[in-house]
Amino acid sequence: MHIRPPTAELRARCRTARPREPTITAGQSAPINEAALLDAADNMREGDRWSEIENHYMTAMNEAGGRGVYLMCGVGELPAGHVRRGEHVLFDALGQYRHYHGDFGRCAVVGEPGAEHRKRHRAMCVGWEVAQSLLTPGVRYSELSAAVGDAVRREGFSAFRNPVVHSLGLEHTDDPKPWGVQPQTKPDQVLRPGMVVNVDIPHTEIGWGSVHMEDTVAITSDGCERLSKADFTIRVAN
């Protein structure tokens, strides 16, 4: 007896097989979502509550013709319930434009970043450099994730776990969903030209805080093209 694959998985497979439209639309949604996050981060002030920062992001998305899905600062709320000077804040934004998602992450601080924050940020930047060298056709998600994690830990960030690599499109994680497996299980995809993927490099540590770095790229025939535009410096708000 022939059993047809579930509709959701079939649709996801078809989307990854039609590279042109997802790449073009993601190229529009990525910078809109990125700009809204950076606007919210740059306007963060000491004493702000997360709901105020989130509203700033959502408004910026709306004004650009998009729709904000969420803006996260890590696990739960800000540690003190409001922004404190010198405390690093994780920014992770997911937004939509013309039904396609943008997913972007950075870290920001009011005042000056601490020494440990700077050290860990440098380690994550090294990890991103490794990621860029492996974002090319034929590389598996698992290979990319392991190489980035190893690179970050070699830089002295020993508690860092391997990052998440995922596709991006009409859904936040737009990889095919296998039939009958446990929730959150996904296949170990092989990068192909035309795929739009994110390298998601967050870290949350109880008693210390959260940091993040996440960018979107389109896989090309011989490497990748960044759809994110911002540099990798820590965002400093006054």
Dihedral (CA of 134, 138, 140, 143) sign: negative
Mean pLDDT by 10 residues, the chain (238 residues): 48 49 73 98 98 98 97 90 96 95 97 96 98 98 98 97 93 76 76 94 92 95 94 93
Written as one letter, the residue type at 80 is A
Q: In this predicted structure, what is the pLDDT of residue 3?
A: 46
Give the CB-side neighbour count of residue 108, counting CA atoms within 13 A: 24
pLDDT for position 27: 80
This prediction's pTM: 0.87
DSSP 140: B
Round to whole Å and give the CA distance between 234 and 108.
Answer: 6
pLDDT in tens, 101-153: 999 999 999 999 999 999 999 999 999 999 999 999 999 999 999 999 999 99
Helix locations, the chain, DSSP H: 7-17, 20-42, 50-63, 115-134, 141-154
Q: How far apart are alpha carbons 209 and 162 in whole angstroms?
A: 18
pLDDT of 4:
45
Quote the pLDDT of residue 181: 66
Q: Which domains does the chain have, with CATH numbers?
A: 7-237 (3.90.230.10)
